[in-house]
A = this chain, B = another copy of it.
Amino acid sequence: MELSERVASFASSVGALTYRRIEELVSGRPAELYEASMHLVRAGGKRLRPLLVVLSSRMYGLSPEVSSWAAAAVEILHNFTLVHDDIIDRDDFRRGVPTVHKVWGEGLAIVAGDLLFAKSYEALLKLLDYGVSHERVASAIRELTWAAVTVAEGQAMDILFVSRERVAVEEYIEMVRKKTAGLFKSSILIGSIIAGAPEEDLVKLSEFATDVGIAFQIRDDELGLVADEKVLGKPKYSDLREGKKTLLVLYALERADERQRRKILSSLGRPGATREELEEVAKTIAELGALEYSNKLAEEFVRRGIEALYSTNPRDPDSREMLKELAYYVTRRLY
């Protein structure tokens, strides 16, 4: 599924504006540090989170001119987590380019991530110059901080799951709720808070963003198994090689007979596994119906999320329409 021309064009203008904000914020010396920090930002990405910020702000009447600073904040925070994740997972490629630590070394990559983290707060503080009140900016900072804590907890769970024998599907959902949906939720909340959305809408929007975030991660796991390597921008099956307990793996392990179970476990998390062996594992997972299952689950999350979204009272229903389209796109995207 592709986005409609209208939403795609809006998304592209938000992406460009957010990029300009980030470029302005993330510049300085030493040059190597700032180059390293901007590396993944320059490489692109879907810039979905900025869109969540700008659209939820727009729902309550705040212009992208202002909200783009908050959009920059969440996109910078997201990029910080990617830089550190790539070190942790020892990934060599992302967004079609070598990862930061592959180019600048691990030490500078750790520091580049830290710098981005700090810069995400600088981005939110910019809102004060655009007339957003100290109270609202403080609330936005609270949400960003909550997201950073939550993402760290989810990331730690993800790491700890690798060496655990059994992980329940509920634990996976809990991990994803933190690791991925945490920043989706805070993106929506930051956008709506700085625009002055009513308290009761914040609750609904949180539900919407959390559900869509979970669906997004489920789809992400699927794409690691089925997507074309070129659009993926990184090697296929890296999750399998790293021993990640994705929903697909968990579902397949639950349903596998002894032979299938042995086949999956013999290659999962083994750095030396060949492409063919991983291909075999992916085939087994697919044969066990994991993709149908995860697809259905993702669709269910999105359905529930949209229900919450439509119990809000926005000033601008058009922005809500676009958020709905985005939510559908998230589970059906091809990369």
In the complex, A300 has a CB within 8 A of chain B: no
How many chain A residues sit at the interface, stated as a range, is 35 or more
Q: Mark A293-314, 1 if CB is under 8 A from B, else 0.
A: 0000000000000000000000
A87 neighbours in B (Cβ, 8 Å): 106, 110
Q: In the bound complex, how far is the Cα of B106 from the Cα of A144, in angstroms? A: 25
A110-B84, A117-B114 known; A138 vs B125 contact (CB < 8 Å): yes
* Interface 9-mer from A27-35, A47-55, A192-200, A204-212: A27-35
* Interface 9-mer from A153-161, A224-232, A326-334: A153-161
Task: Report which of B28, B111, B133 forms a contact with A159, defined as CB distance below 8 A.
Answer: B111
- 13 A/B residue pairs, CB under 8 Å, sorted by A: A29-B153, A33-B156, A84-B110, A84-B111, A84-B114, A88-B107, A108-B159, A114-B148, A118-B149, A122-B145, A133-B134, A134-B134, A134-B137
A134-B134, A138-B125, A145-B122 known; A107 vs B153 contact (CB < 8 Å): no
Chain A, range 24-42, C-beta contacts under 8 Å to B: 28-30, 32-33
B30-A160 in contact (CB<8A): yes
Contacts A28-B153, A121-B145 given; 5 further ones with Cβ under 8 A?
A: A30-B153, A88-B106, A122-B145, A125-B142, A125-B145
Q: In the bound complex, how far is the Cα of B133 from the Cα of A29, in angstroms? A: 33
A153 neighbours in B (Cβ, 8 Å): 28-30, 33, 115
In the complex, A167 has a CB within 8 A of chain B: no
In the complex, A244 has a CB within 8 A of chain B: no
* Distance in Å: Cβ of A244 to nearest Cβ of chain B: 12
In the complex, A22 has a CB within 8 A of chain B: no
A134 neighbours in B (Cβ, 8 Å): 133-135, 137-138
A111 neighbours in B (Cβ, 8 Å): 84, 88, 152, 155-156, 159
In the complex, A141 has a CB within 8 A of chain B: yes
A106 neighbours in B (Cβ, 8 Å): 87-88
A152-B118 in contact (CB<8A): yes
Query: Chain B residue with minimal CB distance to A122?
Result: B145
